[in-house]
Amino acid sequence: MTYDAALHLLDRQIVDEEGRLLAKVDDVELRVDPDGSIRPSGLLVGMPAVLPRLGRRVGHRLTRLHVELRPAAEDRGRPLVVDIDRIASLTSEVRLSGDGRGSLRRLSADRAAAGDRWRLGELLGTPAAGPGLHRKSVVLDVRISGRPGESGEHRVAALVVGPGRSGALLGYDRTSDLGPALIAAVVRWMHRHARVVELGPEVEIDCAAGRVRIGAGASFLPLRG
C-alpha cells in the first residue's frame, strides 16, 4: 500500500482519538537514514512550518519577520511537531492515538538543524531533470510505501514529477476510479507528462541545492497507467 504525502497529509486536520481538532498539517518532516532511505518522521504545525512553503526567498523572509516580531521567544522560529508513530489512522483527517494533547511539542533546535532532516515543502517544486522527462518537470509529490498506523515498512518509494506545481494534480486521479469516461480522458490528458520515478541509485536528490537529477536507468511509470 502506498500514499502520496502532499495529497494525503498536507493541510489535513489533526484530531485526537475522540475527534477533537488539535491542528492541521502544515508540512511533513522527512528523515534521511544512513543507507540513503528517506522516511516520514513527523508532522509539522504552525507558522514556522507553513511560511517556508511559500518559496525559498519569500518564505524565508516571512519566517524571519515572524521571528523578529517576538525576538525574546527563542523557539518562535521552530514549528511544533507530531512524531509519525503517533498517527493511529489516515483518512480524510489525521487521527492520533490517545487524547493527542501531549503529541504536539516544539521541534528541538538540534533536530531542526540536523542535516539528515528535510521538509516535504522544500522538496516540492524542486526542478527534476532526466531523460524522457518534460523539460519543465518539478517534484509534484512524494509517494510513500506503507501507511501511518499500520505495521510494515514506511519509507519514500518514489517521486511524482512533471510540469506544473504541487497541488495542481487532481486528487482523485491517483485512484483506480476516474469516474465518467469524459472526465477520465481529460485527467489523463492533463497529466500526460507526469511520471512516477522510483527511488534508487539513478535518482540523486540534492535538497540544499534545490535539484533532482534522474539517470537513464531509473524506473519511470506514467502517473496514469
What are the structural domains of the chain?
2-120 (2.30.30.240), 123-222 (no CATH)
CA dihedral of 138, 55, 2, 115, whole degrees rounded to 10: 100
Sites in the chain below the pLDDT cut of 50: 172-173, 225
pLDDT at res. 75: 64
Main-chain phi, psi angles of 47, to 5 degrees: -60, -40
pLDDT at res. 52: 79
CA dihedral of 205, 2, 168, 212, whole degrees rounded to 10: 10
CA distance 198 to 200: 6
Name which of 116, 140, 127 is nearest 191 in CA terms. Answer: 140
Cell (9 digits) for 58: 519569500
Name which of 20, 11, 7 is nearest 44 in CA terms. Answer: 11
Say which residue the cell 515572524 belongs to. Answer: 66
pLDDT at res. 32: 93
